[in-house]
Amino acid sequence: MTLQKGTRAKNSLGALPEDLVEEILHFVEPKDIAGFCSVSKVWEKLCNDNRLWKKNVIAHGWKWWNSPPIDPPSWKKIYMHRTVTDRVVLEHLQNVLDSPRGRIANMLKIAQHGSDAVDVLIGTIDEKKKDHLTRTYYARKILRLLSRQWVVSQWRLLMPMLGSFHAQHIQTRHSTACSIAGVRPTTYAPPFPLEYGAFLLSKFHSYTLDVADVMGQLDALADEARLHVIDPGSTGSGIETRARQLYDFLFVVKGFTGAVQDYYNVENSLIDKVLSRRKGIPITLALLYHAVGRRLGLQIDMIGFPQHFLARIVTEDGSQWFVDCFQQGRNGGFRTREECIDLLSDMRLVTREEYLSPTTDQDFYTRMASNIVAAVHHAPDLEQSTDIHIHAYGAMIVLLLLSGDHTQISTRHPHRRILYGILRADVPEDVWFAEADLAMLRARQTTGDSGMRGTQATLEIAALENEVAEIWTVDGASAPQNVKRRDPDMGRGSGSSKRIPRFHVGETFSHSRYHYSGVIYGWDLVCSADEEWILRMGVDRLEHGRRQPFYNVFALGPDGARTYRYVAEQNIIPGNGDPAMFLAHEEIGKWFERWDNERMVFVPNKELREEYPDDLGPRGAEAQ
């Protein structure tokens, strides 16, 4: 404050009461408060007041934390730590956006901050920014990375019970979301409910999926079921009666049913999709029956019956009923032990006690994950789909994590090479998992594990190490690996066999034959696919054959499925793709910054412009 000449302040605050100064400081920007500390010791005391900095932390609105700050000793330190973290995360994110060089390294540096990085990543998604499509794509890509690391950390909590050797080689830094107002999300500790592992399998692909939503839906079903299932202790409230009433409620009243027509749809294996679509396969429907039953006090066992999963109840007198949740059949889906033995005989299988005994949690999750892999294998668009591979990838990670001390721990695990291939092609930022997996394999080899002996195992480890090394080599590359130029003299002269591509990156189109919509993100002067693909697709039967330009496109099918395609120029009808369809998919930001409504094209991002420097757009110069 200003003092008149010849006067002096009655105290070091300039005659203002301390409580008034405290109130004023509540309206001062935190960055300015820090500067006032040097005025005097009294100012320093007031500017470091814990209540003041708690208010600043709450006002900032951070929602995600590695460690929930519930009245810590210094809220100022918390505020300073988070603001520094936010600045560092934004710096690394900008590096990710600016260049492919070091992109994976920068993404993993962000991931080192764990849940503390989530708020700033969500906050950076802003449609007003010039590069908002690319910014959104990479921010959410990192959010997915954080989510997968969190999922693995949750499986790690299961490891002591499941016995996996991977646990000691995987380090992640995550907690669940926590509001500093004291509102915490649902968390679980051992013993975990069986459906929690099913939730984790779903979350590998759906990073926004919240465990509270899944558990809340199961809780709601149980609450409603209480109106249909007789209370324990009431007359006639035996286990069999209550189990049958619950069965009728779920599969008649609520309409949950077996997915007979689309059995191999991967969504039938995901608990969140089963709850929303009310369709599933035997194992997910049995899990539903088990989870709701447990909430009602019913013990429902999971039975790993061959080729068909069952549930089981044991009545007060020890009688067993095996429950088919997929097909009701005779007796409302309930079968005796003798009927199950007859069914095994019909299948020409020798009756083994394990076929009719409760499965372990480890075997249950292994079967769930294996079903997801099988569903992906049966997918009609397996080669092109950008989504389906991630479902398989997550399930394969779980299968490796669950392999534990079994003989499957070896380089010859049936899914390891496939997993590494998907990782390298689609999610190279998950190189941290490959490195942890390799560390586990090397440790096994050092201890003389039977599955890791011999020259073959050494060679296979070396091949996997090369996969990881290649990821880092590409990440360290200083320039685009392939720069495509448009030669103005191309196509002139009778001897020329190449033509300048008619279309440019960023143009939308529809396919003349298959009628799907697409956007071009790359091209080749002639078909560069391998000979097998050329023969299978009948390229040489096209009017211009393989010697015409071919385009890399991001396509959307009638059902909204996203695929990558390779399209001959003669099959492209330009300008017929609706940009709104593509704007709904964040993956468009992998190549483009934004949609230019005047030129009616997607504007290539910096990385794509460097790869196609002559593609200035079909309607004038590139908008910068």
3-class SS letters over 449-502: CHHHCHHHHHHHHHHHHHHHHHHHHHHCCCCCCCCCCCCCCCCCCCCCCCCCCC
Domain match, 203 and 308 both: yes
Domain count, the chain: 4
Average pLDDT (605-624) is 72
Domain match, 358 and 252 both: yes
CA distance 358 to 251: 22
Asked whether residue 443 is assigned to any structural domain, the reply reads: yes
Domain match, 300 and 439 both: no
Domain match, 159 and 199 both: no
Asked whether residue 23 is assigned to any structural domain, the reply reads: no
Asked whether residue 551 is assigned to any structural domain, the reply reads: yes
Q: Which DSSP helix (H) or strand (E) runs through 202? A: helix 194-203
* Burial call 388-413: b when 16+ CB within 10 Å, e when fewer: bbbbbbbbbbbbbbbbbeeebbbbeb
Domain match, 82 and 231 both: no
3-state helix vs strand vs coil in the chain, percent to 5? 50, 10, 40
| CATH code at position 318 | 3.10.620
Domain match, 317 and 413 both: no
Asked whether residue 1 is assigned to any structural domain, the reply reads: no
Domain match, 464 and 346 both: no
User: What would the pLDDT profile of 494-552 be if each residue is shown by its tens digit?
Assistant: 445 678 899 999 999 999 998 899 999 999 999 999 999 999 999 999 999 999 999 99
Which pTM does this prediction carry? Answer: 0.84
* Burial call 170-187: b when 16+ CB within 10 Å, e when fewer: bebebbbbbebeeeeeee
**pLDDT band per the 50, 70, 90 thresholds, residue 389:** confident
User: What would the pLDDT profile of 250-296 be if each residue is shown by its tens digit?
Assistant: 999 999 999 999 999 999 999 999 999 999 999 999 999 999 999 99
Peptide bond into 480 cis (omega under 30): no
Domain match, 216 and 326 both: yes
Is 151 exposed, middle or buried (CB count within 10 Å of its CB: 0-12, 13-18, 19+)? buried
Domain match, 199 and 331 both: yes
Query: How does the average pLDDT of the chain come out, rounded?
Result: 83
The whole domain housing 559 covers 508-611
Q: Closest Cα partner for 424 from 487, 472, 360? A: 472
User: What would the pLDDT profile of 91-113 be if each residue is shown by its tens digit?
Assistant: 999 999 998 999 999 999 999 99
Q: Is the dihedral of CA 142, 148, 151, 157 positive or negative?
A: negative
From 327, 344, 362, the end of a domain falls on 362
Residues 6+ apart with CB under 8 A from 456: 411
User: What would the pLDDT profile of 7-47 be if each residue is shown by its tens digit?
Assistant: 444 455 555 566 666 666 666 677 766 666 666 666 666 67
Asked whether residue 368 is assigned to any structural domain, the reply reads: no
User: What would the pLDDT profile of 189-232 be if each residue is shown by its tens digit?
Assistant: 667 899 999 999 999 988 889 999 999 999 999 999 999 998 87
Domain match, 105 and 154 both: yes
User: What would the pLDDT profile of 291-316 be if each residue is shown by its tens digit?
Assistant: 999 999 999 999 999 989 999 999 99
Kindly provide the residue ranges of all beta strands, DSSP E only, lying in 257-343, ordered along the sequence: 257-258, 279-280, 301-303, 310-314, 320-323, 334-335
Domain match, 464 and 523 both: no
